[in-house]
Amino acid sequence: MTWFLDHRAEVFDLAVRHLYLAGVPLLIGLLLALPLGWLARRFRPLYPPLIIGTGLLYTIPSLALFILMPGFIGTRILDPVNVLIAMTIYTIALLVRTVADGLGAVPGDVNQAATAMGYGRVARFFKVELPLAVPVISAGLRVAAVSNVSIVSVAAIIGVAQLGSLFTDGFSRSFLDPIVVGIIACVVLALLLDVVIVAATWLLTPWQRAGKVRT
Amino acid sequence: MIRFDGVSKHYPDGTVAVDHLSLEAPTGQITVLVGPSGCGKTTSLRMVNRMIEPTSGRIWIDDQDTASMDAAQLRRGIGYVIQHAGLFPHKTIIDNVATVPLLLGERKATARARAMELLERVGLPTSFAGRYPSQLSGGQQQRVGVARALAADPPVMLMDEPFSAVDPIVREQLQDEFLRLQQELGKTILFVTHDIDEAIKLGDQVAVLRVGGTLAQLAAPSYLLAHPIDDFVADFVGRDRGYRALSFQSTPELPIRQEPTVQIGATPEQVRQATADGWVLVTEDDRPLGWVEPSRIDRDLQPQMVHRGGTVATVSGPLRNALDAALSSPSRRGVIVDDDGRLLGTVRAHEVLTAIEEVERPAVHAEDLQPVEPPS
């Protein structure tokens, strides 16, 4: 506790970096997963390769990905961009299936009605399919958020500072306090992201809260 | 007018859904496509608004070839109602109804005002406007579906089994209201159902389709029942078609007899004096309630003592109802009321049958005596 009080500013700074490294890829990954998930639904033969392919990305060990990234995109080994891109890949890995299944869960007669009303394909996606897929996508996004917060900490090993740095620091000095504080901070951060996602979902899905009223 | 001109739909796997279909749905009338599963009725319907593109042939709406129009524009000009209503679960009722006007670029306030009118028109309280579809019953959702299809006032409507997914009582209500609405609106309607009773009730003309998507017969319902063109149509329209055809013959001069009546609250003595035979009719404010057996009445007449098994026929209604009233009545005397539901008297089944025998059956069209070769 005393250690935390003495290092408040430092922990806070690490937490902000951690949030940045976990949160930004979450948004970018979501934006990229939307068209990929749509493609997987729209063109059935693409579904298995897209879902299996993106799913496999998740099995690449994060440390390996962090280390290999500069080789692929020519960045410096310590550049945080490596971590951002790697985390985006993990987010996509988790979300493409979610988006595809979320779009797939839109009832067939609703889609049919939308087409028959005269929605164009793009308008139908944004006005009907996507809003209805929000609950499913949101569930996937919550998993991805927690996963990102956890995986990002590994980046401390390649020297990109965030809450994971508290683990390496504590480990190298055989000092428990920063490790405990790091774990607690990670949990708080994960909860924070979760609350944001749940709140956004709540705002986007008023129809889900509509209770049964009968006259 | 919707006109199918040699329309076929073949799928790459060799399935023929619709085969050289030619028919015309006249302006302002209901044309019902009916047939067993696999007869291509829904496919035919969806080819009109190009949800499915025909393999060959043309479909015209008035003098416009639908293939030459932009698909989305075409669809916005055609009302569409489907089985489970297909309402947008994430939109309120009012926004569901306003969908097409908004797509057509109408101002939100105008579109919503019109949507409100339509809710009332299909028999829903305007307090439903802010609700979501999941908060409505199946029948109510289907009404919203109809309101949504009518919102942009399209001259043409496509309806794909719109009343099949609701229970029989609600279905009958919806059908009756639909007919009333159509009387006011006079839309050109193409209506798909697998239920021949529904087809006969709603259609100005009925097209019976065969498996494989060919037209077996196109005729007015009464004609279809009287003169099915072949065994397939005869089987499909059903065994009791003679009885059902009575639905189209309105009651001629039935010999309606005065019926002695008693009121609720009558003493056993009054009930017994009212009639010489085993049953007496109970009325309230001139309206028939049902029958009682005087021999079983041992105290003043209460509503729960009334036998309500008999149906009631309106004097201007079809003969089928008059016959049914006589057959279902415990006294064998069918209750006939005027258009306001006031008692006129009773008829007996044999009297209705005599009236039926005096009614002419629809004459056979000469061309229907020649079997039509299905196009090869």
For residue B109, count other CB atoms closer than 10 A to its CB.
8
Residues 325-364 of B with CB under 8 A from A: none
pLDDT tens per residue, range A102-145: 999 999 999 999 999 999 989 999 999 999 999 999 999 999 99
Query: Residue B89: its chain A contacts at CB < 8 A?
Result: 107, 110, 132, 207
Could you tell me which residue, A29 or B38, shows the higher pLDDT?
A: A29
- Domain membership of residue A214 (yes or no) is no
CA distance B215 to chain A (A): 25
The answer to whether the CB atoms of B134 and A215 lie below 8 A apart is no
pLDDT tens per residue, range B322-334: 898 999 999 889 9
Percent of chain A with pLDDT over 90: 46
pLDDT for the residue numbered B370: 52
Mean pLDDT score, B121-137: 93
pLDDT for the residue numbered A215: 44
**Of A57-61, A75-79, B256-260, which range is least confident?**
A75-79
H or E element at residue B370? none
CA A133 to chain centre: 16
Query: Quick check: B33 and B224 in contact, CB under 8 A?
Result: no
**SS3 label, residue A144:** helix
pLDDT tens per residue, range B286-320: 889 999 988 888 888 888 888 888 888 888 888 88
Range of the domain at A68: 2-209
Mean pLDDT score, A135-157: 91
Mean pLDDT score, A201-209: 92
What rounded mean pLDDT belongs to chain B? 89
For residue B284, count other CB atoms closer than 10 A to its CB.
13
Q: What is the CA radius of gyration of chain B?
A: 25
Mean pLDDT score, B141-170: 92
Copy the structure tokens of residue A33. 């997963």
Domains contained in chain A, number:
1
Query: Residue A206: its chain B contacts at CB < 8 A?
Result: 132
pLDDT at B366 over 70: no
pLDDT at A174 over 90: no
Instruction: Select from B3, B2, B10, B1 the least CA-distant residue to B54.
Output: B10
B99 reaches A (C-beta below 8 A)? yes
pLDDT tens per residue, range A31-53: 999 999 999 988 889 899 988 88
Residue B292 main-chain phi, psi, to 5 deg: -130, 155
pLDDT band at B278 (very low <50, low <70, confident <90, very high): confident
CATH label of the domain that carries residue A118: 1.10.3720.10
Query: Quick check: A11 and A181 in contact, CB under 8 A?
Result: yes
Q: At what angle do helices A80-104 and A62-73 cross, to 10 degrees?
A: 110
Count A/B contacts: CB-CB distance under 8 Å: 75
Query: Residue B78: its chain A contacts at CB < 8 A?
Result: 116
**Which residues, 6+ apart, have CB-to-CB distance to B137 below 8 Å?**
A214
pLDDT for the residue numbered A67: 83
The answer to whether the CB atoms of B72 and A114 lie below 8 A apart is no
The answer to whether the CB atoms of A109 and B83 lie below 8 A apart is yes
ipTM of the complex in this document: 0.83
Instruction: Select from B43, B79, B47, B73 the least CA-distant residue to B60.
Output: B47
Instruction: Select from B133, B137, B142 the least CA-distant residue to B181.
Output: B142
pLDDT band at A68 (very low <50, low <70, confident <90, very high): confident
The answer to whether the CB atoms of B137 and A214 lie below 8 A apart is yes
Calpha distance B11→B19 (Å, rounded): 12
pLDDT band at B376 (very low <50, low <70, confident <90, very high): very low
pLDDT for the residue numbered B193: 95
Mean pLDDT score, B34-56: 94
pLDDT band at B367 (very low <50, low <70, confident <90, very high): low
Specify the residue for token string 């006939």: B336
pLDDT tens per residue, range B82-125: 988 899 999 999 999 999 999 999 999 999 999 999 999 999 99
The answer to whether the CB atoms of A110 and B87 lie below 8 A apart is yes
pLDDT at A211 over 60: yes
Domains detected in chain B? 2-245 (3.40.50.300), 261-358 (3.10.580.10)
Query: Residue B74: its chain A contacts at CB < 8 A?
Result: 118
**Which residues, 6+ apart, have CB-to-CB distance to A48 below 8 Å?**
none
pLDDT band at B368 (very low <50, low <70, confident <90, very high): low
Query: Quick check: A151 and A57 in contact, CB under 8 A?
Result: no
Highest mean pLDDT (candidates B24-33, B261-270, B276-285): B24-33
**SS3 label, residue B153:** coil
The answer to whether the CB atoms of A210 and B88 lie below 8 A apart is no
pLDDT tens per residue, range A123-134: 999 999 999 999
Instruction: Select from B154, B178, B197 the least CA-distant residue to B62.
Output: B154
CA distance B125 to chain A (A): 10
Query: Quick check: A110 and B87 in contact, CB under 8 A?
Result: yes
Calpha distance B257→B202 (Å, rounded): 33
How is residue B248 annotated by DSSP? G
pLDDT for the residue numbered A9: 85
Copy the structure tokens of residue B222. 């009464």
Specify the residue for token string 């639909």: B178
Measure Cα distances from A141 to A49, A193, A209, B7, B24 in Å. Answer: 21, 10, 20, 48, 52
